[in-house]
Amino acid sequence: MVSSAQPWWQAATIYQIYPRSFADSDGDGIGDLRGIADRLDHLVSLGVDALWISPIFPSPMADFGYDVADYTGIDPRFGTLADFDALLAKAHGLGLRVLLDFVPNHSSDRHPWFVESRSSRDNPKRDWYVWHDPAPDGGPPNNWISDFGGPAWTFDAATGQYYSRAFLPEQPDLNWRNPEVRAAMLGAMRFWFDRGVDGFRIDVLWHMVKHADFPDNPPNPDYREGMGEMHRVLQLNSTDQPEVHAIAADMRELADRYDAMLVGEIYLPVPRLMTYYGPADAPGVHLPFNFQLIEARWNAAELAGRIAEYEAALPTGGWPNWVLGNHDRPRIATRVGAAQARVAAMLLLTLRGTPTLYQGDELGLPDAQVPAGKVQDPRELREPGLGLGRDPVRTPLPWTEEGGFTTGEPWLPIDPAHLPLNVAAQADDRDSTLTLYRHLLALRRATPALATGTIGDVRAEGDVLTYLRSDGTDRYRIALNLGHRTAAIDLEPGTVILSTHDAATASSLRPDEGLILKVD
């Protein structure tokens, strides 16, 4: 295990790439590894430290890569292992770390493991997946609901049992109670670590183990129409089981041998989220993803409360992290508006902890409008009209005024409203959102107090959120106006070093303005 005074990921900023939509090098309309390699200069000039690539493994694409058919290969749509090795080498040469997206809860139904498991009840791999007899009436074994709606079980007529699947029928759940499954999946992680990967984002980590007795989930007393069918019940028995922490500890022990890091996708309340850091003698993932900024109402009091609650809940040695958006949730510019999205950028990049950016947020992109006939997302197709579809945040990145993503027809259309926000135009605009992100990231890199310092004095006064960052020598006051009116502020003497607007003062905040003050 490699040790250092400070793990590299604590001062790092991570950038999520959705590979189908980042850059297409061969004109087939789907982004690929060579396209990513060709555009690494954008990430370098932006000032991030690591890229996380959503799944690129061989897949039938029932859920666009989150249904894996081979954990140690590259899907031909994205390229080859040689292309991946070339991308990894180029990224490392530019000082960028590379994280892959590991999908351990479920595989594709076309994975050779499941093909064997499904072939007969006495197949040696039968217990590699979660199988159960029907209920007395012949229906599903219990009331668990898929995250995409409908029962979380699919009946296999040939063998007379149901298999568990938390998502699509094409995504059968692996049985992590089987030590052979655990060994095989850790072996897949080791394959990529040996190749030089710097870490993994672990998909739906809290889903990975189900209650051994398969009891019903209790009804959700707060359910209301329009929330999505999955919310009819509380997922107390189908997720977040105590046994998952030993699995996370095994993954962590492996990652630590390579000086690599693990980020866990976990949508849970803060107290339960904190358990995924693990105890000191069996630590879990380095960063249990913190989605507080995605889920919060956008006002100063709410954000101050969430920041304080999260910081207070962190276990000894637990490092915080923050994120504004991802490939599953509406974009920040749609949630809070274009002006407040700039304030949100300053918030994300000045809070204590490791931030993760989602591709396109640095351009201020709103959710795309996707014509009904072009919808691709299986979630939207299964529960239409509820606004749960993820296509609006997955459309191709606009590189130029013409699009610049592909020479062919993109797999999802580029929203015409995105074209004026393209990378080339914003790169030369001193007032653009991209320029603001570059300034924020450069300041973060150059300022220990902002990168890894303490946070304190978190306050909400009217529409204004303020907090103090310090490394024991230098102090910085961040003041963010989350309202649309001018707000008087009373800050310590100091010098404004960056504003989301043009030249700023330390006596008032203009509407939708954030500033960073170096305290005298």
Tell me how crowded residue 120 is: count the other CB atoms within 10 A of its CB.
11
Pairing outcome for strands 475-481 and 50-53: unpaired
- Helix count (H) and strand count (E) of the chain? 15, 18
179 CB-near residues (< 8 Å, 6+ apart): none
The answer to whether 386 and 377 have CB atoms below 8 angstroms apart is no
User: Could you tell me which of 362, 371, 357 has the C-alpha nearest to residue 410?
Assistant: 371
Q: How far apart are CA 21 and CA 396, in angstroms?
A: 4
Pairwise CA distance, residues 289 & 385, whole Å: 28
**CA–CA dist 462, 192 (Å, integer):** 49
Residue 269, CA distances (Å) to 1, 127, 289, 351 in order = 32, 32, 11, 20
The amino acid occupying position 153 is W
Q: CB 354: neighbour CB atoms within 10 A?
A: 26
Check: CB of residue 288 under 8 Å from CB of residue 332.
no
DSSP-assigned beta bridge partners for residue 153: 164
Q: What residues are annotated to the active site?
A: 203, 265
